[in-house]
Amino acid sequence: MELLDTFIPSTIDFARQPIEHEHGDAKRRYGSSESADMLSAAALARTPKDANGIYGSVSAGDIVATVKRALAHNDEAARVLLTESNIRFVDGHGHAEGDSSRVLKQLGSFAVEIQVPGAETAITRTIRIRPKAAVET
């Protein structure tokens, strides 16, 4: 466990493209009747269900790959066997409601536990998902 504690940073960063949400006044739409206009306005005024959503996600596999890259710089640490089943998302933060998958789907910071086979305790690390910087063309 000392090797993991030494070589895995306390915060692991990932960059993902945030989902852009339209705001009510951004695009005004007109229907064929006043009723249609009211329904359109009501639909646009709703708050997005996941205002911090991202394109793509951060999975347990992504975390394992990042941790393995961090451990690869030390011969002894590189021999640590780590799989997706060794990663546990603490309190299910970042999941869509009712989603039991092992992925994070929004911007923010989330706690994960990394439990290596044979170790008595798990180590806790923070996964931080930040907005990817826009690439200028």
The predicted-structure confidence for 58-104, as pLDDT tens digits, reads as follows 999 999 999 999 999 999 999 999 999 999 998 655 544 444 457 88
CATH number for the region 2-19+50-131 comes to 3.10.430.100
In the chain, where the domains are located = 2-19+50-131
Token reading at 121: 């305790």
105, 50 contact by CB (below 8 A) = yes
Give the DSSP H or E segment for 40.
Answer: helix 34-45
**Residue type for position 83:** T
The predicted-structure confidence for 110-132, as pLDDT tens digits, reads as follows 999 999 888 889 999 999 999 98
Nearest-CA neighbor of 62 among 94, 93, 84, 85? 84
Nearest-CA neighbor of 42 among 31, 58, 56, 51? 31
pLDDT-derived band of residue 50, with 50, 70 and 90 as boundaries?
Answer: low
